[in-house]
């Protein structure tokens, strides 16, 4: 089965909006095992939308459109699709009520323009909205010589609405048309602290086994910069329960191999992983940040409920601040000794159980004869003297900082797992 994506919107052509929908749809279609050879972007012009759809239908079995379902006069995807289908638009009274209800729910009155959102090409099925106002559409059509059916899936442009509708309504319909009677489920294992090539090598037994099994699960790596490397498992199964069993089994196998290199699942970030461990152990934390200048603290406070375990951070950019506030006596402030003293100092000053410290050289020039990318992480655990580790991180000023933050959080995470 071949599917093509047509994104509609003059704001995309003008570059006022980056087409992230196309990337998301491409990823999902690939997971579904569906081929996607072309993506097209077209402006809010009916003749050109029609041309793009017709061209896409010449070379594909199905087309997914996104955008152009709003209430204003330049939102004309519905009209263009009806033209391609050769049918009139019919206003659906039930759908009209649903659009109106979405406004009532928000305590607002529906402007007359929004009535257009209840228009459905004859023969199409509406996809109810769950977030916004514009319903989606499933539009079957027969234009081929052999009389076989094609389909246009019409989705709204706002990413949240588009994604929810795609997963809920398009995926099952698409799989049914593709003649497959299975569901697709994915899980992402997030790792830190291992190179992609090493990771690939270590999990190669799992890969090999998957090949033998005839691959009910596929496995893909995704290098994600300061978010580490993601391992995405995608399972085809007869239902969601079976998919879960299959994914659980593969996750367990990968955890056996990778252990605590896996810091989270799906949307779980490094800071949420650390927060969970701190809360479980009922420990509070304070930070002392030099080169990272508050970035580590900012990541921690992004976790909801951070006030339960986070005391604060002393951003000691100035050497005098390190000496006076944190009692750093080490002659060199970019050093193992300074990192340890910062961790112990902040643990005391902010009255926390754990002190975590970062000092180093963001660049572009060396400091105290240390090259850019040199980072010392100091960690003072409850009732223990601090220790420090030295890292040499790649990248520019900003990357060194961001790598330093996640490395420090990861060092803490591993220690909390061990204790």
Residues lying near its own copies in the complex (CB under 8 A) are found at 12-20, 22-28, 30, 36-43, 45, 48, 52, 55, 222, 287, 289, 291-298, 300-302, 304, 306-307, 310-318, 320-321, 324-325, 349-351, 362, 364, 397-398, 401
Q: Is the peptide bond before 364 cis (omega within 30 degrees of 0)?
A: yes
Residue 275 CB, shortest distance to its own copies, in Å, is 13
Closer residue to its own copies, CB minimum distance, 27 or 79: 27
- Measured from the CB atom, is 194 or 298 closer to its own copies? 298
Nearest by Cα to 370 from 398, 338, 325, 411? 338
Give me the least distance between CB of 145 and its own copies, in Å please. Answer: 20
Shorter beta-carbon distance to its own copies: residue 281 or 417: 281
CA–chain centroid gap for 367, Å, is 36
3-state secondary structure at position 116: helix
Helices (H), 302-396: 319-326, 336-349
Q: List, in sequence order, the alpha helices (H) in 178-239.
A: 196-202, 204-213
By beta-carbon proximity to its own copies, the closer residue of 90 and 325 is 325
- Nearer to its own copies by C-beta: 129 or 313? 313
CB 389 within 8 A of CB 376: yes
Report the residue number, 27 or 92, with the smaller CB distance to its own copies: 27
> What DSSP character marks residue 371?
P
For residues 48 and 182, which CB has a smaller minimum distance to its own copies in the complex?
A: 48
| Min dist. Cβ of residue 80 to its own copies (A) | 14
Q: Which of 360, 354, 346, 343 is nearest to 405 (CA)?
A: 360
Minimum distance from CB of 102 to its own copies (Å)?
20
Minimum distance from CB of 228 to its own copies (Å)?
16
- How near is the Cβ of 152 to its own copies at its closest, in Å? 18
CA distance 274 to 297: 12
Best CA proximity match to 72, nearest among 159, 135, 134? 134
In whole angstroms, the minimum distance from the beta carbon of 33 to its own copies comes to: 12
Alpha helices in 158-307 (DSSP H): 159-165, 171-177, 196-202, 204-213, 240-258, 270-281, 295-301
Closest distance between its own copies and the C-beta of residue 376, in Å? 17
Six-digit token string for 27: 């990823």
**Smaller CB separation from its own copies, 52 or 137:** 52
Q: Which of 154-179 are b and which e, b meaning 16 or more Cβ less than 10 Å from the residue's Cβ?
A: bbbbbeebbbbbbeebbbebbbebbe
Helix ranges (H only) for 157-195 are: 159-165, 171-177
């Amino acid at each position: 089965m071949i599917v093509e994506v047509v994104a509609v919107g003059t704001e995309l052509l003008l570059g006022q909006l980056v087409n992230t929908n196309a990337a998301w749809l491409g990823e999902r279609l690939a997971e579904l095992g569906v081929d996607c050879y072309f993506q097209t972007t077209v402006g809010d012009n009916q003749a050109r939308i029609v041309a793009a759809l017709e061209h896409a239908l010449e070379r594909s079995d199905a087309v997914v459109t996104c955008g152009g379902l709003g209430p204003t006069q330049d939102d004309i995807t519905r009209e263009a699709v009806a033209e391609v289908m050769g049918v009139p638009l019919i206003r659906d009274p039930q759908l009209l009520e649903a659009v109106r209800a979405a406004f009532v729910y928000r305590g607002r009155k529906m402007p007359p323009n929004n009535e257009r959102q209840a228009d459905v090409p004859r023969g199409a099925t509406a996809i109810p909205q769950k977030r916004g106002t514009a319903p989606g559409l499933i539009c079957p059509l027969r234009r081929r010589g052999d009389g076989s059916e094609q389909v246009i899936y019409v989705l709204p442009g706002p990413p949240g609405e588009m994604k929810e509708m795609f997963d809920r309504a398009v995926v099952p319909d698409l799989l049914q048309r593709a003649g497959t009677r299975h569901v697709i489920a994915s899980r992402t294992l997030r790792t830190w602290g291992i190179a992609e090539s090493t990771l690939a090598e270590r999990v190669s037994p799992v890969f090999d086994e998957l090949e033998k099994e005839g691959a009910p699960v596929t496995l893909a790596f995704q290098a994600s910069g300061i978010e580490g490397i993601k391992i995405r498992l995608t399972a085809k199964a007869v239902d969601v329960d079976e998919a879960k069993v299959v994914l659980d089994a593969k996750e367990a196998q990968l955890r056996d191999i990778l252990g605590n290199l896996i810091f989270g699942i799906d949307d779980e970030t490094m800071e949420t992983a650390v927060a969970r461990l701190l809360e479980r152990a009922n420990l509070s934390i304070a930070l002392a940040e030099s080169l990272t200048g508050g970035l580590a603290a900012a990541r921690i406070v992004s976790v909801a409920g951070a006030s339960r375990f986070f005391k604060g951070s002393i951003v000691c950019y100035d050497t005098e601040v390190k000496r006076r506030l944190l009692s750093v006596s080490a002659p060199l402030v970019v050093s193992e000794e300074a990192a340890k003293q910062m961790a112990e100092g902040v643990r005391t000053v902010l009255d926390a159980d754990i002190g975590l410290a970062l000092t180093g050289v963001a660049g572009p020039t060396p400091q105290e004869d240390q090259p850019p990318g040199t980072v010392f992480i100091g960690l003072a655990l409850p009732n223990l003297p601090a220790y420090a580790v030295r890292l040499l991180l790649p990248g520019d000023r900003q990357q060194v900082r961001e790598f330093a933050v996640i490395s420090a959080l990861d060092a803490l995470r591993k220690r909390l797992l061990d204790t």
